[in-house]
């Protein structure tokens, strides 16, 4: 079954409109659902403002990155876990940490702070070293929506 994601201002309304029995997994402010993209887009069009994206990888497991970061101002290296989403591409995850946004000191320092470590926010640079990285997929507890699809107060009328 394809994995499709949605989020946005009216995401709650779209979730309410999903039919009973739809398998879903909450991902922060978004949902991953086991539903084909086209039917979900059609449903979203009747609800309001939502972004719907189709996954190129229909793996129904969470992509996880475990990274170890080190900097001279840290007492010891810091291990950080980042859940990137259901079916998020493994190679893209590696790229994010080695060449993308998370390869820069500004974002790495924020990740260290979010992990609860007493550290200072850095500007752009490359002084925080990525010493280890493990990227893998793990099973998640998919849920099944119960109850019928519900109309939402801001739901648009069907065309």
Which tens digit of pLDDT belongs to each residue from 99-146?
999 999 999 999 999 999 999 999 999 999 999 999 999 998 898 988
Of residues 35 and 119, which shows the higher confidence score? Answer: 119
> Encoding tokens for residue 99?
């060449």
pLDDT of residue 156: 47
List beta partners, residue 63.
85, 137
Task: Parse the chain into domains and list their residue ranges.
Answer: 3-55, 62-138
Residue 142: which of 40, 23, 12, 30 has the closest Cα? 23
- Within 51-158, residue ranges assigned H as helices are 90-98, 105-114
Are the CB atoms for 103 and 129 separated by under 8 Å? Answer: no
User: Model pTM?
Assistant: 0.75
pLDDT of residue 159: 42
Q: What's the mean pLDDT when you consider all of the chain?
A: 86
């Amino acid at each position: 079954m394809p994995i499709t994601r949605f989020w946005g201002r009216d995401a709650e309304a779209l979730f309410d409109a999903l039919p009973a029995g739809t398998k879903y997994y909450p991902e922060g402010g978004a949902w991953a659902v086991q539903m084909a993209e086209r039917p979900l887009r059609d449903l979203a069009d009747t609800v309001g403002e939502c972004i719907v994206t189709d996954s190129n990888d229909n793996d129904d497991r969470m992509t996880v990155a475990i990274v170890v970061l080190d900097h001279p101002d840290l007492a010891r290296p810091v291990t950080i876990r980042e859940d990137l989403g259901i079916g998020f591409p493994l190679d893209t995850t590696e790229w994010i940490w080695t060449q993308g946004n998370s390869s820069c000191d500004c974002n790495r320092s924020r990740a260290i702070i979010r992990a609860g470590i007493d550290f200072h926010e850095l500007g752009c640079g490359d002084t925080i070293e990525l010493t280890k990285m493990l990227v893998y997929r793990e099973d998640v507890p998919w849920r099944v929506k119960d109850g019928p699809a519900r109309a939402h107060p801001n739901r648009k009328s069907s065309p």
